[in-house]
Structure 1
Amino acid sequence: MPETVKPVGPLRVGATALVIAIAALTLGLGGALPAQEAAPEETLRPVRLLVVDPPHNTLQRQFYGQVVARQTVDLAFQVGGQLNALPVMNGQTVSEGDLLAQLDLEPFDRAVSRAELNLTQAQRDFDRVQQLAQSNVASEARFDEAQTALDLAKLGLREARDARDDATLSAAFDGLVAQRLVANYSTVAQGTPVLRLHDMSQPRIEIDVPERLFRSAGRLEGLEFTADLGDGMAGIPLRVAEYTAETRGVSQSYAVDLALPPVEGYTPLPGRTATVTATLPSGSSDALVIPVTALVHTADRSTEVMIYEPVGADTGTVRALPVTVVSREGADLGIKPGEALQPGMEIVSTGAHLLTDGMQVRRFTGFRESD
């Protein structure tokens, strides 16, 4: 019997057509699959750069100082009593001789009156005993006692008057009231400070000078100081007024007071900050100065810096350049002249040890999310 041909179902025909279509598409594209997207470019490392300056014959250091008074005095009464007058205010400028504070004078006036009466009585007794002694009626011992009593009465009157004078505090110099330390009408004991007064007749700026710079300058005679007071007031010449002759703790620095001349428009209040520049002539030198952070130590114990060679606006490559260190002063290095490093070149100022010769970098222009 002839074989019975089974009809092909619609599902099987559809699958066959799909296979043929895929094969035709593959052949039409030459058998190639879509290429993958290229990987993003590697982010360039940012570097901080500085321009090598020409050689200079001076060393400069900056210090942060504060305005201080020539002297600050805590004023106190040499006697005790109730404070009756405190006419000055904090921050007030006073002149020499101005009244600063005064105790209640009534008890002191009574003490002076009592001392005057005692002196009058002692004087009468002395005069009477003296007449009797001249008539050989009073003994010499009694005359001596009368003389001693008179001397004690005079001394008592002097002490009473001095105590009354000590009950008043007057300004001994032109100054600035820093702070009232007690309230008016309070009772104060002898020696209790009641007022703090700044002597602003010669305001000063105090800085701490390291012992190393102090030694390099030959004490302070070789240093020149200028101040930047802010608000455009810069280059103010300063003069050394005094300095402590011993160092402060572990910092090995000397406290130096620099006399500040009068500056128009500037009020030298104690505590105001100022930037002081110290200049020390270092003699003739043609060494190039770079920061110590720019130096790279290689495996063979040589030293080099990384020169930046620009390629675009903010990108470039770095090149290792051997240098010879001839001096060191603080955070700066002196580089031997006559080598490949020249003034005007740009070098990596910090982090150069993380770079390799020929590496592509970009100029650091500020922080961004990719840094």
Structure 2
Amino acid sequence: MTSTPAFPPLKTYLTIIACALLLGGCSSGDEPASEPPRVALVEPLQPAEPQPEALRLSGVVQSVTTTQLSFEVAGRIERILIDEGTRIRRGQPLAELDRVDYQLQLSEAEARLRQLQADLARKRTLLAEGILAPAAIEALEANTVAARVARDSARRDLERSTLSAPFDGVVARRLVEPNMVVAVGTPVFEMQDNRHIEVSVDLPEIAALSIPLGPELKAEGQLVIADVSLPLRYKEHSTQPREGARTYRLVLQGEPPEDYNLLPGMAMRVSVQRPPRPQASQDQFRLPLSALQADSDGGHYIWQAADGRARRLAVELQEVEGDQALIRGDGLQAQLPIIVAGGSKLHEEQPIKVQERN
């Protein structure tokens, strides 16, 4: 009877092969490959110093000075020299009256003065010769003084027949037309001082309590209809609320941008800096929210960069302010290098290549 040779089971063969591979690997003398370092963005830990807060309000652009200009003498308007919206300089002529009557008055006054001065000169010669008594020329001297005053007045009236700009600005409106006869004080132009602008803000009661109403106030305005912003400074504020509202008028002043026409009535968003709130604790620190990691049990931790490795530090989250987190924890100190990005992919003692965040 022929017998069938016995073969080992398949499991035995697999075991033998595995052992052979293992022994072969050990005999080669190779070490396991080390883990490559991971690039880590690092920032120094900062103390949780108080931060100023911005209060956002609505404002309206105003002109610093709006003045109605008028002639100081009466007459018929002969010429208007500028148009509405024109930028003008101080002393620039704006309009002229008919000057004929004022020129005639000046000529008459000058002739009268010359005649009296000539008479006075002749009589002083006679006085020096002893022909006339001093009392004989006293009336003539008084008349000469009066004639000089009349001459100066006529000259001034002639100069005032031209209306000039009292300051740099813009002609907002023209209120008369050529050939109109105007009296003294009749408004001719409305002129605005555009070297500065003012922004009027309605300040709520709660805001009035918490911001410095004085020269130390800092603010920024942004035009609603365009990407235009400018720094603003404090000018004045009212101490009485507006009628029917619990708001106070705050006036800010700034310099208008050169490339835009900021006109009265334009809407502006105003950001006013509030003083920082008092610091709650001396052992609080501030870091980017991206550096904070969460445990499965609801706790928080951060990664410290230490000697080229990542080390985990447990922390207590105190508050979140925008993209910043306020934390507290044992072993924390200012300027400690903290990994601020990619913390979810790190593990304890992982090799890292430190790169400071710009």
Tell me by how many angstroms 1:87 deviates.
Answer: 2.4
Q: Which of residues 141, 159, 162 is equivalent to 1:165?
A: 159
In the aligned structure 2, how far is the partner of 1:248 from the partner of 1:187?
Answer: 44
Partner of 2:75: 81
- Residue by residue, what CA displacement relative to the aligned partner does 1:169-192 show, whole Å, maximum 9, x if unpaired? 122333111001122211111111
The 3-state SS of whatever aligns with 1:179 is: strand
1:239 aligns with 2:255: no
| Deviation (angstroms), 1:145 | 0.9
Q: Deviations over 1:206-238 (max 9, x none)?
A: 22334653443232345321112135525x342
2-structure distance, mates of 1:342, 1:122: 87
The answer to whether the Cα contact below 8 Å between 2:61 and 2:198 also exists between their aligned partners in 1 is yes
How far apart are residue 166 of structure 1 and its match? 0.6
Amino acid at match of 1:238: P
Residue matched to 2:271: 277
Q: What is the 5 A alignment of 1:91-170?
A: 91-170=85-164
Does 1:255 find its partner at 2:250?
A: yes
The answer on whether the counterparts of 1:214 and 1:220 sit within 8 Å (CA) in structure 2 is no
- Identity in percent: 26
What is the CA distance between 1:125 and its match in structure 2?
A: 1.7
SS in 1 for 2:73: coil
Count of paired positions: 239
Residue number in structure 2 paired with 1:227: 221
Which one-letter code corresponds to 2:107 in the other structure?
Answer: S
- Over residues 299-349 of structure 1, what are the superposed CA-to-partner deviations in whole Å (9 max), with x where a residue is unaligned? xxxxxxxxxxxxxxxxxxxxxxxxxxxxxxxxxxxxxxx99x9999xxxxx
| Cα distance change of structure 1 residues 248 and 157 upon mapping to structure 2, 3 Å threshold | farther
1:131 positional shift: 1.9
Mapped to 2, the partners of 1:227 and 1:154 lie a distance apart of 57
127-136 or 158-167: bigger deviation: 127-136
Which range moves more in the overlay, 66-75 or 212-221? 212-221
Question: C-alpha distance in 1, partners of 2:82/2:234?
Answer: 30
Residues 248 and 123 of structure 1, relative CA distance in 2, 3 Å threshold:
farther
Q: Secondary structure at the match of 2:201?
A: strand
Structure 2: segments with no counterpart, 5+ residues: 1-49, 281-316, 324-358
Counterpart residue type for residue 257 of structure 2: P
CA shift, 1:93, in A, is 1.9
Judging changes above 3 Å, is the alpha-carbon distance between structure 1 residues 177 and 136 closer, same or farther for their aligned structure 2 residues? Answer: same
- TM-score w.r.t. length of structure 2: 0.59
**TM value normalised by structure 1:** 0.57
